[in-house]
Structure 1
C-alpha cells in the first residue's frame, strides 16, 4: 500500500492528510516539553518528534482501529520520555544524536526495558509498538 505521505529532504513532512495527524496526536508539538527534565532537553525532544512522526503517519495509513492507534501513540510518547531519561542517566547516551539513540534503544525484540514503570504485560504491549 502506498503511503499518502512523503518526506522532502530536511524540509520535513509534506502531507495532504496532516490534519489527520493533528487529530491523532493533537499534543504532538507539546511532547518535547512534556518529556523534559530541564529546558535543555526540549531541542532533543523536538528531534525525537521529527524521527517519530513518519512512524505516526505510517500508523495512520495502517488501517488499525482507533483503540490500537491510540495505544501505539501512547507508547511512542512513553518511548520519548524514556529516551530523555536515558540521556540523563547515561553519559554515552547523552552524547548520541536522537536518531542514534532511538536505534540504540530499539532492537529486534522490541523497545527498551522500562520494567520499573511497567508490568510484564504492559512491557509486552509496549514492545509490540
Structure 2
C-alpha cells in the first residue's frame, strides 16, 4: 500500500529536496570563488567562471532531483491533478511539453514510472 501525503507536504518536500540544493549551488560556487580570490588562491576572473559553473551545477542538480521528487510525489499524493497544478504554479516543475521539462534527467526506469503515473492522472 502506498503512503499518502498531502499536496502541501509534497510541495514543501519538493522545495526542500530540489530548490535548497539548487540555491546552495548558485550561491555557493561564487561565494567560494570570492573567498578563494580574497585569499589569492585563484585570480579575480575565476569569480565569473564560478558564476557560470554554479548555474550549470544548479541546473544539473535540478534536472536530476526534480525527477526523483516527481516520481515520489505522484506515487504518494492522492490528488495528483491538484499536485501538478500547484507544482507548476509554485515553479517547482514546468508545464508539460515545455523545453525546460525536456532537460530533466530521466533514466529508463524513471521514464517507466512516470509513464505509469501519467496514466493515473
User: Normalising TM by the smaller chain, what interval?
Assistant: 0.3 to 0.5
Question: Normalising by structure 1, what TM-score?
Answer: 0.31
Question: Normalising by structure 2, what TM-score?
Answer: 0.33
Higher relative contact order (CA 8 A, sep 6+): 2
Q: Which has the larger radius of gyration?
A: 2
Whose strand fraction is larger, Structure 1's or Structure 2's? 1
